[in-house]
Every structure is written in C-alpha cells, then in structure tokens.
A and B are shown apart, each in its own frame.
Chain A
Amino acid sequence: MNLRKILFASAALAALAGAAHAENLLKWGANRDIGSLDPYSYGDSFTINVLNHVYEGLVRYNRDLKIEPALATSWEILDDKITWRFKLREGVKFHNGNPFTADDVVASLTRVSDPASPLKGNLPAYVSSKVVDDHTVDITLNGTYPLLLNDLTNIHIFDKEWMTEHDALKPTDIGANVEGYATYNANGTGPFSVVSRQPDAKTVFARNPDWWDTPQHNLDGFELLPVNSAATRVAALLSGEISFTNDAPVQDLPRLEAAPNVNVLEGVDLRTVMVGFPFRDKLSTGADNPFGNVKVREALYKAIDLELIHKKVMRGKSRIAGATVAPAIPGYVPELDELPKYDPEAAKAMLAEAGVPEGLEFELNCLSDGLVNEEQFCQAIASMWARIGLKPKLDVAPRAVQTPKRTGGTTDIYILGWATLPMLDAYSPLLQIFHTKEGNSGVFNWGGWSFPELDKLVQAAGSELDTAKRLALETEALGIVKKEHIMVPLHQQPMAWAVTDAVSEMPLFPDNKPRLWFARMK
C-alpha cells in the first residue's frame, strides 16, 4: 500500500466514523469489560448478559421477566418425565448467514457441559441431547427437574458449522496456549452482531437486520466502553461521552439527578448481599476456628449495624434484608425477613460465653470490583467487629485474585452477592450455595458447611414438579439457613442506571441486566 492509498483509505474510514454519529449509536459506559466474546469460556454473569445481545437461548425473559419462546417455539416433557422435547424456530439465521438447526443446539449443549467449561454448573441437570429432526431436539436430564427453562434462558446457541470450521467445538482451554477462536469472534442469532472488539477499550455492536423477531429497539448499534473509575463514568455521562451506564455510583446520584441532560433510573436489585463464614477446623492464621459455632455467627451478625450501613454507605438506597433471597424471588416468605436487633454489648457477651479469645484475628475477604460500594461496607463491618473486640484483617482485591482464595478455602469470612440468576428462584442459592459441596451442588459453598437436613429438602425440591409444593420445600430450607446463620444477609443492593437525554427508553430490570433490544433513542 503506498502512502496515497493509505491516506485515501484513512480519509474514507474517517468519513465512515463521522457518519456513525448521525445514527442511533448508544454508548454504554460499563464499570468493567466483558471477559471474552465466548460466553462458555468465561462464566460470569455480566459477560453472559452482554453477549446475550449477540447470542440467544432456546427461551428468554420478556419485559416482565417471564419466560417466553425464543429459538424454541414450543416444548413438552415426554412420558419418561426426564426428557424434554423442544420444537425449534424455523427460518432463523446466524449472523454469518448459516441456518439455525437442531445440530447447532446439540453442539452448543455439548460445548457448555464439557468438563472444561466454567459454565457447566448453570445447566446442572443436563445429561445428553439428541437431534430428532432438523427442527426438533430432545434433552435428557438426570431426573425430574422443574427449572430447565430457567436454566436455558442463559445457555447461548452457537453455530455448529462455524465452530467446526474454527476448531471451537470445545471451550477455550487456556492451558493449550492458543487463543480460542470464539474468544475474539462471535456469531449468534441475536438482535446485534459484533463489529469489532478491543479488550478494555471498546467493543462495537451493530443491529442485526435479519433478526427473526420484530425489533422493539430503534438502535443502529451500540458500543460497550469499559470505564472502571466511578468518577470518570460520571464525568463522561455529564459530558455526553457515554449515553448510558448500568452502574451509576450511588454517592453521585444527587449530582446526576441535578444535571439537566441526565436521567437516573433507580431500583432495588434482586441481588442479596451476604456474609459467609468458614466452617473448617482452622482459620487462615492457623488458630482454631470458632465460626462453626452458631452462637458466634449470631454474635457477629448482631454486631453489624445494618441500619447505619443502609443509611451511610448505601445512602438509603438499599433494602435491608433479613432473608437470603429478595421478596420477588419464588420461595420467599415475609416471615424469613425478620431483622436482627443491633446489639454490640450482647454480641460481646455472646463471644465471651462461646470462649472466643479477645483480639481474635481473621480475614475478611472482599472484592474491589464486586458489589455496590463493597469496599466501603466491608471497611464499615470490619470497624464494627473491631468494636466488639475482634481483629478483622481486611483483604480487598479484584474478583480474579480473590476467587481462588475463596474456592480454595484459604481465607476466612467473605462477602457474596446472589441474585438467583439465571433461574430467578430460591432453588438457585439453595442448590449452589447452601447445599453440601458435592458434584454439581454447593459449587459456591465456600465455607465448607454441611446440613444434611437442608440437603434433603433441596433434593426434594429439585425433583418436585408441583410448583406450590416445591416452593414450600424451598421456604423450609431457607428457614434452616436463617436459623443456623449459615450466611447472614445484609441488604438487597441498590441498582442505579443513568441515561442521557439522547435515550428515550431504557427499561430497568430487577435482575440489573441491561437489555438494549428494548432501548430506544430520540
């Protein structure tokens, strides 16, 4: 390419870039980047959320978070009670033009349930699947299981031909020391397709003109711009450099509300923030672990001033929680939501009674890129515990650094937020957090507890097809969680989105997931 050609090409590109402004291009300033373009190699709900604009599941949530058909049009449970038959939508095309068929579904389910897939826990009951005809698929489970549809909302369907062509039938194995093709490229059936991606800087999405559904959005595309710093995000929103953020810092809401060109969308997230205790014999310091004693857990719970955290750290925007699931989640009953009485004196007495030594040192493991104001409420909790004579050591670091310590059990007390995603049912935390760790159960049981009575209830709920009976079992199990203080809830965290006046419609969802296929611009 000679110089003149280069200049000409760049001028043409600049013209293109300039033209982009005239379109409805939504600029989404997120607090972090997606981990990959491959939803199966990076099990993280934000990544899955963003990639849901590109890839779709067999079913999806509608505006009211009710499940509706997507790539499947209908389904039935066969007579053996463990096989589900899905009829697939016809005439759907992937972004590369390939038609969508039953082969694609089987290949995708095989890929997501691969032993190396970090997402296999999201499809816990799956055993196998087979093609019946071009547009019919059978999925076999390991037993009767009521929540398959909820799980399938987040299992994205890939194109088998495309995966075969690019050697991506298996999830990326980082140990193989080669990039996965799907890490950098995407080919789904969704309302948007990926135009370009520069990690940590910009990922550009364009409207898919051949989408099978009638679009409710009027976007020509959107850009995902990761802006980690909360202050920078606010500045960018005020100056119009971004037109939407799904994480407006709660401390800056008054300022944003006062700005003439910004609208704030507020709500309470479904995510319940909880404190988890270690149940192992020893603490990370090597000292004996007193947290196996329910009285000690209760004492620590009583020493947390939930009201104060709500008022000062969460600026009155959170909902103080007594239950480990939010009120909107099936399985919740108001009786579970009773709040403890803040009483540091009683807490101190209970610790003394349980024989906990004065000045006991332990770690409090928090994320710097986790929940809303996590670093701040962790500091607040640490100082509250310091006041009842304990010596908590605050350990704050990014998720990627903390997760190995948590799963490996090399830390002590930790904070976990759980929104029951993707299934939106109390079964989710019961199975994934509170159940004893074995097989696909208790994957997030980082404290290492085991309550056989609770396990039985969870297993019973897991094969109960009658909804009312199932929810009663779940409620009973949640009662054990509360009585034993296995994890103690703090609050449902506030959720604050903000848009500039260029955006006319942006429905706020209680699962805190932006769905830009419902967004409209002026």
Chain B
Amino acid sequence: MLAFLIKRTANAIFVMLAVAFLAFVIFRFFGDPVEMMVNEQATQADRAELRERLGLNDGFLTQYARFVTNAAQGDFGISYRNQQDVMVLLKERFPATFELVLVATVISLVVGIPLGVVTAVHRNSRLANMLQISSIIGISLPSFVVGIMLILLFSVSLGWLPAFGRGDTVNIGWWSTGLLTPSGRMALILPGIALSIFQITMVMRLVRAEMLETLRTDYVKFARARGIPAARVHWRHALRNCLMPVITLTGMQIGNLIAFALVTETVFQWPGMGMLFIQAVTFVDIPVMAAYLMLVSLIFVVLNTIVDFTYAWVDPRLRDDTARAGGANG
C-alpha cells in the first residue's frame, strides 16, 4: 500500500511538473512579456532593462526552475490587464466558481440518481424509454444554448430569476458566499441548472448501468424471494451498491465541471474563475491564463489521486493495475 501511495504521488507530481512546463512555455514564448508590460513610450533601453530585471536573459532551465518555484508558492506575477496579483484575482473568483460547481453537482445527484434507478427498474417501459431518449438530448444540447434559453424563459419572459451575476454576497474571511442571501441563492439557480444538465445525464446513465448489473445478482434475487417489498430492495439495497461508482464519478468530474463552468459563467456573466480566464484569453493576459491552467489541473490531479487512493483502499487488487481507465473525455 505504501509503495502504491508513493508511486501515485510521484506520478501526480510528475504530471504537475509537465503541466507547469506547458504553462511556462505559453507564458514565456507566446507574446513577448516585455512588450505586454511596457507602455508605448518606453525606449529600447527601458525594454532591455526590464528584460534583465525579469530574468528573461537567463538560461531556459533556470527560468523554468524559477517559474516552478514561484508557482509552488502561488506567485504567478501580475496580470497584464488588471495590473493585479494573479493569485489574488484567482482567489477572489474561486468561491463563485466553487459554489456554482457545488450546486450543479448537488442538482445532478438529486435528479440523476432517481432517474437512473427508475430507468433501470422499469426497463423497457415507456417512461424509461422516454427518459433514455431525453438523456441523449441532454448530452446533445450545448450548455450555452441551454443557458440562453433558460435566460429567455425564466428571466425575460417570466421574470422569476436573475439573468446575470451572483446577487448579494457575504464575506466569511476571504470566502465570499452567495448561499447566505436570498438574492444570492436565486442567482445560483439558472447557472446551476445549465451547468448540471450534462452531469445529470452522466449520473443517470451510470446509475442505470450499475443498477442493471446489481439487479441481476443473486443477492437481489434472494432478497426479493424473501418477500422484501420491491421498492425497498431497489431503493435501499440495490442502490446502495451503486453509490461507490457514482461518488467516484462525481469526484473525478468536479475538475471537468470547473472547466466547463467557464461556458456557463460567460453566458450568465458569473464572476468566477472561468470568466476571468475567458477575459484573459481575449486580452491575451498570459499570466492569468497560465495560472488558471495550473490551478485547474492541480484540482484535477489531486481529485484523481484521491480517487485512486480510495479505490486502492477499498479494493486492494487495483493497487498494481497500471492501465487504469481515464475519464477526461466525459
């Protein structure tokens, strides 16, 4: 077990170093940082001096090492556009994105699990077929189209829910939350739904597949034969067996949801990290782009590693399985 832990951790560190390398290459070679920083009137001497001061004349490896050291301490420099510390910018935006992802995850579980159970239990019924087809529609609808339609319907036509932003937020330390104010909660509903549509269908399909397997096991057949009511067997005993993969999937998907939130955030003008990133992209604000890439990858890698650990802890056979299936293309 210890060897496995060390191996997985080393792997995670290697991946992060590689991501840092990519971020560094982007940072260093696309768009000359000096040209981005100086104003129009700067002379050639000013530029040369700045180049020296930033250490851009050092060797490649030295610069990479410095980038990694700084990044590990959360120092990504100053945003070209806002002239603010990149890490502070990301830290300010993180709560907005996290709460959005959290709400989307909760919605996907609350809606997805029951739908999955129903489609599995009543397999081939009209209801189940309809749900199966709507789940295909669910993964086929682009999330920005869903967002636009939700705004049209609930904000413009019905006027029930806000069309943009987070509403009022409350600060708890550095964390700003919208969960404690009525307007903040209202503002979470539409973007939460838009972000969760895809995830709902994934949870639903996974639960369905797992349930179908479980329903075939002797254990369930036996329970039924003993006269335990069907509903109880399905919702208590069978479902419990499917929850582990669902939790795993949810954990691994959080990274993807954070990334996909950038689309939702753009549609709803949600002041999270994703919107910061998209604006950085249009303004070629490289330090913000590099930092966002590193941060999201870090979350991704950490979650995946935790999932690996959990699995290995639950099922020792997996400890030496090297060809683990990855799930980034959801």
A and B touch in the complex (CB under 8 A): yes
Encoded as 1 (CB less than 8 Å from any A CB) or 0, chain B from 194 to 236 comes to: 0000000000000000000000000000000000000000000
B35, B37, B82, B162: the one contacting A36 at CB < 8 Å is B82
Asked whether A349 is an interface residue with its Cβ less than 8 Å from the other chain, the reply is no
**Closest residue on chain A to residue B160 by CB atoms:** A239
Given contacts A172-B83, A199-B84, A239-B163, contact A232 B269 (CB under 8 A): yes
Q: Which residues of B contact A176 (CB under 8 A)?
A: 53
| Chain A CB within 8 A of B139 CB | no
Contacts of A201 in B (CB 8 A): 96, 165-166, 271
Binds B, one of A77-85, A385-393, A397-405, A487-495: A397-405
Is A258 among interface residues, defined by CB-CB distance under 8 A? no
Which partner residue on chain A sits nearest B92 by CB separation? A198
Decide: A177 and B77 in contact? CB cutoff 8 A: yes
Closest CB in chain A relative to B275 CB, distance in Å: 7
Q: How many angstroms between the C-alpha atoms of A7 and B80 in the bound complex?
A: 37
A241–B83 touching, CB < 8 Å: no
**Contact A404 to B78, CB < 8 A, known contacts A14-B181, A398-B282:** no
Q: Mark A224-243, 1 if CB is under 8 A from B, else 0.
A: 01011100100110110100
Binds B, one of A100-108, A149-157, A178-186: A178-186
- Asked whether, in the complex, the Cβ of B269 is within 8 Å of the Cβ of A228, the reply is yes
Query: Within the complex, what minimum Cβ distance (angstroms) separates B75 from chain A?
Result: 9
User: CB-CB contacts of B272-292 with A at 8 A, as 1s and 0s?
Assistant: 000110010011100000000
Instruction: A401 to B89: give the CA distance in the assembly, Å.
Output: 21
Do A35 and B82 form a contact, CB below 8 Å, given A13-B171, A200-B279?
yes
Q: Is the CB of A184 within 8 A of B84?
A: yes
Q: Which of B35, B41, B162, B283 has the most CB of A within 10 A?
A: B41
Q: Name the A residues within 8 Å of B275 (CB-CB).
A: 200
Tell me if B39 is interfacial: C-beta within 8 Å of chain A: yes
User: How far is A115 from B46 in the complex, measured between Cα atoms in Å?
Assistant: 11
CB of A22 within 8 Å of the partner chain? no
Residues of A within 8 A of B37 (CB): 174-175
- Are A115 and B41 touching (Cβ within 8 A)? yes
Instruction: Specify which chain A residues have a CB less than 8 angstroms from the CB of B308 in the assembled complex.
Output: none
Hey, which chain A residues are within 8 Å of B176, CB to CB? 198
Q: Which residues of A contact B54 (CB under 8 A)?
A: 175, 177
Looking at the complex, which one of B40, B89, B92, B151 makes contact with A235 (CB distance below 8 Å)? B151
A114-129: which have CB < 8 Å to B?
115-116, 118, 120
B173 interfacial by beta-carbon distance below 8 Å: yes
**Residues of chain B contacted by A35 (CB below 8 angstroms):** 81-83
Q: Which of A14, A116, A174 contacts B78 (CB 8 A)?
A: A174
Tell me whether A13 and B170 are in contact (CB under 8 A): yes
B311 contacts partner chain A, Cβ-Cβ < 8 Å: no
Query: A152-192, CB under 8 A of B: which get 1 and which 0?
Result: 00000000000000000000101111111001100000000
Which B-chain residue is minimally distant from A1 (CB atoms)?
Answer: B173
Contacts known (A10-B170, A202-B271); A118 close to B83, Cβ less than 8 A: no
Of A177, A235, A368, which one neighbours B163 at CB under 8 angstroms? Answer: A235
Residues of B contacting A368 in the complex (Cβ-Cβ under 8 angstroms):
282
Residues A10 and B180 in contact in the complex (CB < 8 Å), given A174-B83, A407-B40: yes
B172 contacts A by Cβ under 8 Å: yes
Contact B78 A177 (CB under 8 A): yes
Q: Is the CB of B283 within 8 A of A401?
A: yes
B10 part of interface (Cβ distance < 8 Å) = no
* A202, B169: Cα distance in complex, Å: 11
Chain B residues whose CB sits within 8 angstroms of the CB of A401 once the complex forms: 282-284
Q: Does B164 contact A (CB under 8 A)?
A: yes
Contact with A along B77-112 (1 / 0, CB 8 A): 110111111001100100010000000000000000
Please measure, in the bound complex, the distance between the C-alpha atom of A397 and the C-alpha atom of B279, giving whole angstroms: 12
Nearest Cβ in chain B — how far from A123, in angstroms?
Answer: 14
Instruction: For B279, list chain A residues within 8 Å (CB).
Output: 200
Report B201 CB to chain A, min CB distance, Å: 27
Tell me the complex Cα distance, A1–B175, Å: 14
Contact A175 B276 (CB under 8 A): no
Could you say which residues of chain B place their CB within 8 Å of the CB of A239?
Answer: 155-156, 159, 162-163
Chain A, 21-49, contact with B by CB distance < 8 Å: what is the 0/1 string? 00000000000000110000110000000
A65 at the interface (CB under 8 A from B): no
Q: Give the Cβ gap from A365 to chain B, nearest Cβ, in Å.
A: 16
Cα A36 to Cα B82 in complex, Å, equals: 6
Residue among A179, A200, A407 making CB contact with B85, cutoff 8 Å: A179
Complex interface: chain A residues within 8 A of B39 (CB): 116, 118
Q: Hey, which bits of chain A sit against chain B, CB under 8 A?
A: 1, 6, 9-11, 13-14, 17-18, 20, 35-36, 41-42, 115-116, 118, 120, 172, 174-180, 183-184, 198-202, 225, 227-229, 232, 235-236, 238-239, 241, 368, 397-398, 400-401, 404, 407, 443
List 21 contacting pairs A-B, 8 Å CB cutoff, sorted by A. A1-B173, A10-B172, A18-B168, A115-B41, A118-B39, A175-B53, A183-B82, A183-B84, A200-B275, A227-B269, A228-B269, A232-B269, A235-B156, A235-B163, A236-B165, A238-B159, A239-B156, A239-B163, A368-B282, A404-B35, A407-B40
Question: Which chain B residues have a beta carbon within 8 Å of chain A's beta carbons?
Answer: 34-35, 37-41, 50, 53-54, 77-78, 80-85, 88-89, 92, 96, 151, 155-156, 159, 162-166, 168, 170-173, 176-177, 180-181, 268-269, 271, 275-276, 279, 282-284
